Amino acid sequence: MWPRSDLHSWVKVLNKFDEILKGFIEEYELDKLQLNPFTPRTKSIITEILRFETLLLDNSTNRKLFASYDVGNHHQHIAAYF
């Protein structure tokens, strides 16, 4: 119904999401064994960030710009806890 979005328009938003996710990665020590469970608020924030990024990438013309490799690898770790 609508044309695909240009990912360039979302760079600031995606960078902010990366900052938020990096904070959770450090707070919950996702590089190690996670011993502290996500709070309901944290879980909700992470879920919505990942949902929005998926929606955005599925509907963008230049997905190759999305280079959140340092956080992207942790998307799998984060998603595994849901």
Residue 15 lies in a domain: yes
pTM: 0.75
Per-residue pLDDT reduced to its tens digit, 24-80: 989 998 888 888 999 999 999 999 999 998 888 888 877 666 666 455 555 555 655
And the tokens for 53?
A: 């990024």
Domain that holds residue 62: 7-80
Residue 2 lies in a domain: no
Domain total in the chain: 1
Residue 18 lies in a domain: yes
Cα-based angle 6, 82, 80 (whole degrees, multiple of 5): 80
Rounded Cα distance, 24 and 31, in Å: 11
Residue 1 lies in a domain: no
Beta carbons within 10 angstroms of residue 59's beta carbon: 13
pLDDT, residue 76, reads 57
Rounded Cα distance, 30 and 44, in Å: 17
